A and B are shown apart, each in its own frame.
Chain A
Amino acid sequence: MKRILVAGVLVGIILLTQYFTTNVSPTAEATFIAGLILLGGHIAGHLLSRIGLPRITGYLGLGILLGPQSLAVIDPETATRLGFLKELAVAFIALAAGAELRLQQLRERIGTILSLTLSMAGFVSVSVFSFFFLVGSHFLPASTHMGEMEKAAVAVLLGILAVARSPSSALAVIRECRARGQFPETVLGVTVALDVLSIVLFALGLSVCQALVSSTVDLRFALTVGAELIGGVAMGLLLGAALAFYIGKVPGHLPLLLLGTALVVTHVAHGIADYVRDTHELPLHLEPLLICVTAGFTVRNLSAGGDRFAEAIHSVSLPVFVLFFCLAGASLDLQSLRTTWAAALLYVVVRGASLFGSCWFAARHDEDGAWYGISFLTQAGVSLGLALEVVRRFPDWGAVFATIAVAAISINQLIGPVAMKLALQSAHTSQTRS
């Protein structure tokens, strides 16, 4: 009841501001929206957690409510401006995800992690590709205007996209449930591994698609992605070493340093991409997520300050999560669901079923084998980035793929955290305290 009173006060402040605003400055508006998101997200998260749903669903829901397609408190311009904050949050969350991966525990679980990763990567991508290639192609919007090869290309990319995960969502739900034990550690390890693997597969997939639609083989893109991966890991190791050195020498202000690091990594990665594109016409894009996961992993596992690093990240992670997921909710393209709901729904169902099947098979000797499948539904950042890359590379039919992808990712983003929370609370080797 008291929280609803606070929500009423917040609505009053919104109305007052909209009526009397005299200084329509981007600075003021962005500050106001950020505050509204944090307070509103806190309330929405708590209200949903009272009925057993994860708080992240509340953050996403609030984002959808405030976003351009609902109340438009966050208009498209503000959403774009705050997109910078979202990128910063992705890098920070990646640092946090890296810090969660502990080498000792990973070693103990390496067999399960590898079998789950390879089984899912293989089975899920083949299942989704087969379905859309053999059965589902006429569900694609504008399928009548597409040639057979183009439909095959869309099916290939949908298959590969199905492998991508959302480490940020996984980490947020694990943190919220305060989950400990083999199950959450395995889930996070597999999630990060699959996200990296999806980038490699996507690069290869794009080259295959190029060959399918234009009968030419362009291996340059695949080579570029190889350079991206090696460059990203190398930069991450260097950054991790620098952070570890700093943490060992200087006490205090670590959360601020880490937020600053996330900012600089994002900037430097984008800057290098711009520079290489302008000077060498190469689509080299160092993934901030990969750099930061590697850096976080390096500091946590290969330095003496690993625990301090993890503590510092933990101390400021909740505000970052609330901001990130509300903004993610605001940027979900629910309009695309109207035109592609059938294809998107089929994608979600086939992907979910194949995820469940592959996990059950790979972890059939594990006492929690039945719960792995529903822990990997969520998709977000990297998946969206990959979808946009397809539009850029294949302007003729890329939009068809991107529309389905965005719609399906929106559905997965909404149901994924709920399913994952259920899995964390039900698995035998997971201890939760929420």
Chain B
Amino acid sequence: MHTTPPPQERTADRHSESGTSEAVRLTIPVAMAYIPLGVAFGVLLTASGISWYWAPISTLLIYAGSIEFLAVGFMVAGLPLYQVAFTSLIVNFRHIFYGLSFPIDRLRGRAQKTYGVFALTDETYGITSAGPGMHLNGRQITILQVVSHVWWVLGAVLGALIGQVIPESVKGFEFALTTMFLTLAVNAVRTSRSARLVFLALGAGVIGYFVDQYVIEESFLIVSLLLYMVAISWMYQKEKKA
């Protein structure tokens, strides 16, 4: 009886084909950000004296941008692991909100759901939960996340290889870190429109600097970030009472 597949199945097939290309197409802007950043990360890593194979390992296991750059600095400084943990918690804190609106119910099965949450970067979250990919089905979401992840790893490996042929006497790659955080800071200030937060951060930074230089070595981040957290928690208390 059924010599030809039922019509709805054929439509589904056609859909899934164009579905794949649509998901891949949505990763183009992601690639434009991830590949150069990945290259910068790879160059920084090998130029800092870290073996090239940590570039793919790191980008596979940590699928997040800025903290990955910091990881290079942490390795070079030999930062204690509790400080690494604390700093990652603060720097990546925003990710705690992404799951609330991520369409996880479209993902099927444990493996797909787990990867979906693991791969919830700023960009894949933005596209699937608030951007041009809001209508994607589960399969497309996974394709988008995997392909973006591939761009990130490829960029880092490419950068690590480039970094190996750059002579050791050339200095200054670490400045990419400073400028990257600078652009993120400009974005954050534009969003919050608050000079008070900038002053609070600078105050926390000055105290953190003196503790770091004269009391506990390499304690800048944990001291200044904690002070800043205390300051904004206090602001919250005050605003709630008002």
Partners in one complex: no
Residues in chain A within 8 A of chain B (CB atoms):
none
Residues in chain B within 8 A of chain A (CB atoms):
none
